[in-house]
Amino acid sequence: MTKYQHQKRVLVAIDCIIFGFDGADLKLLLIKRGFEPEKGKWSLMGGFVKATENFEQAASRILKQLTGLEGLYMEQLLAFGDPGRDPMERTVSIAYFSLIDILQYEKQISHEYHAEWFSLHEIPRLIFDHQDMVELAREKLRYKAAFHPILFELLPQKFTLPQLQHLYEEVYNTRFDKRNFSRKILSTELLVKQKDKEKENSKKGAYYYKLNKKKYKIHFHEILNIIPNPGNLH
Amino acid sequence: MTKYQHQKRVLVAIDCIIFGFDGADLKLLLIKRGFEPEKGKWSLMGGFVKATENFEQAASRILKQLTGLEGLYMEQLLAFGDPGRDPMERTVSIAYFSLIDILQYEKQISHEYHAEWFSLHEIPRLIFDHQDMVELAREKLRYKAAFHPILFELLPQKFTLPQLQHLYEEVYNTRFDKRNFSRKILSTELLVKQKDKEKENSKKGAYYYKLNKKKYKIHFHEILNIIPNPGNLH
DNA sequence: AATATAAGTGTTATTTTGACATTTATTAAG
DNA sequence: CTTAATAAATGTCAAAATAACACTTATATT
């Protein structure tokens, strides 16, 4: 067999949009790019796909390099391929987005890459089309979280309803009625109430909950309806 | 500036999953592949991305080659990049899916590529990972159509409510109650009732409707709720 | 004139939603 | 020890949305 003739070969990279939550804010993990072009500028964590890897393997490897974590939630966002997106050489980038509980992540962080968390309200200028990737990832997160219990990936194993609600409020940048919120969340029957309470944030303390992992896996793809008036999602 | 060193460059292709509807069945457009490997086997319409094109431009060009049509609904599905997916040489494929009214398309068809419509129940074995692409595209179509008025892209300008319902029933492989269906569809206020009737399929005739294109564009991204118990979508 | 066919339409009971306020547990302060 | 302050937890009710259900209408055919 002969190879396909007269076709241009291009570089293929992965870029990871890594969202994290620390109990207060929704954040994005960025690194200072270590090589030219745009060396020293803020960038998504990325890398080239190796000859024997598929995209998921490459994304996992890159994610592990940066965070030290494995088995994270990960999903392909979109392939970006405008001819000039990397001025050095045409490079197609497959964007993945990932969700991390920041506090868990901090124990394992590799500091080799000067990674930093940025609140979504204070994102610096990013290289290439990474800004577009982040914006699209935010939209996709909002869309997906409106129908699927994806935001649990941002929380520790044990969490409280007020913490969960706070997270939803961060993602949708709005406030929910806590009575209606807890009714909807609990009606999914994905949560298991624990006996102990979290007492950092209030005198009374809030009961911890855990995911029912089995139900979570089984029902993950079903359509929930957690967000009132989901309205103008994409 | 020097180029990125020691990285492998690969081919980048587009493959188009083209769904069509002829008033009766939901169908998929396939071609007989014209070159090796797998010459003569059934395949999605595809082609390599050219040096100056972005993905959308490449997908439009490829789509026009096959169908003669422009301005079709088109959306990136997913990038496929397993190392061995094309045995000839590593090729990344960006899959796009498109929606066409078959009867409109037939006037413009280019017969150069031996394209044929296949009912979704009778799809032949396809080359490479095209089978996976088609399956994923079907899931995405069902998912998207549950929340957005996307299926109108499969219909002619003028269509009847029974035709529309039939289309939804094909996509979801189920039956809907026509009273509830028409109430939901009409409550979107996206349809404009016409004065004339379609009289091929019944003695009484069914009123034609047209899309209110302006509202359609404005409200396209809003979440509708057309499908009862959307259940286990992805 | 009678019949057959598919289109078109309305009601009701049930479920889901969104708006809203009070009670409870605990710590801190006086 | 009593009081005050704080955030958590919980219930009701009216309105809206949904799902289930059957009859009438227009027309072509016989």
Whether domain B154-219 has CATH 3.40.980.10: no
- Best CATH choice for the domain A148-219 from the list 3.40.50.2300, 3.50.50.60, 1.10.10.10, 2.40.128.50: 1.10.10.10
Mutate to test the interface with A, among B93, B223, B229, B232 (most CBs of A within 10 A): B223
- Asked whether residue A1 carries a pLDDT value surpassing 60, the answer given is no
- When computed from its CA atoms, the radius of gyration of chain A, rounded to whole angstroms, is 20
Q: What is the pLDDT of residue A2?
A: 63
| Of the options 3.90.79.10, 3.30.70.360, 3.30.465.10, 1.20.1640.10, the CATH number for the domain spanning A11-131 | 3.90.79.10
From CA B136, how far away is CA B126, in angstroms rounded? 14
CB proximity B195–strand C (7 Å threshold): no
Contacts of residue B12 in chain A, CB cutoff 8 Å? Answer: 10, 12, 81, 92
pLDDT at res. B135: 98
pLDDT value at position B108? 76
Whether the predicted pLDDT of A59 surpasses 60: yes
Report pLDDT for A118. Answer: 97
The CATH 1.10.10.10 portion of chain B extends over 154-219
Q: Does A10 touch chain B (CB under 8 A)?
A: yes
Q: Which parts of chain B sit beneath pLDDT 70?
A: 1-2, 230-234
CB atoms within 10 A of CB A125: 8
> Where exactly does CATH 3.90.79.10 map onto chain A?
11-131
A78:B76 CB<8 A: yes
- pLDDT the model gives residue A140: 97
Which candidate, A190, A209, A145, places its Cα nearest to that of A171?
A145
Q: Is B5 on the interface with A (CB under 8 A)?
A: no
pLDDT band at A40 (very low <50, low <70, confident <90, very high): very high
Nucleotide with smallest C1' distance to residue A230 CA: C17
B78: distance to nearest CA of chain A, Å? Answer: 7
Tell me the average pLDDT across A26-53.
94
Quick: pLDDT tens for A130-176.
Answer: 999 999 999 999 999 999 999 999 999 999 999 999 999 999 999 99
Determine, for residues A49 and B79 on separate chains, whether the beta-carbon distance falls below 8 Å.
no
Q: What is the spatial distance between Cα A14 and Cα A36, in angstroms, rounded to a whole number? A: 17
Residues of chain B with CATH 3.90.79.10: 11-146
Does residue A114 carry a pLDDT above 90? no
What is the mean pLDDT of the segment spanning A27-31? 96
Question: Residue A232: what pLDDT?
Answer: 61
- What's the rounded mean pLDDT across residues A98-124? 88
pLDDT (0 to 100) of residue A86 = 96
Supply the mean pLDDT for chain B. Answer: 93
Residue B206 tokens read as: 């069914």
| Mean pLDDT for chain A overall | 93
- Cα–Cα distance measured from residue B49 to residue A10, given in angstroms and rounded to the nearest whole number: 10
Mutant choice from A3, A85, A223, A227 vs B, greatest count of B C-beta within 10 A: A223
> Which chain B residue has its CA at the smallest distance from A2's CA?
B88
Stretch(es) of chain A classified as CATH 1.10.10.10: 148-219
Tens of pLDDT, residues B201-210: 999 999 999 9
Q: Give dist(CA A202, CA A205) in Å, integer.
A: 5
B3 and chain A in contact, CB less than 8 A:
yes
Q: Token pair 């996509």 is at which residue?
A: B171
**B88 Cβ under 8 Å from any chain A Cβ:** yes
pLDDT in tens, B178-195: 999 999 999 999 999 999
For range A212-233, the mean pLDDT: 84
At A69 the pLDDT is: 86
Please state which CATH class domain B11-146 belongs to.
Answer: alpha beta
Please give the residue of chain B at the shortest CA–CA distance from A47: B7
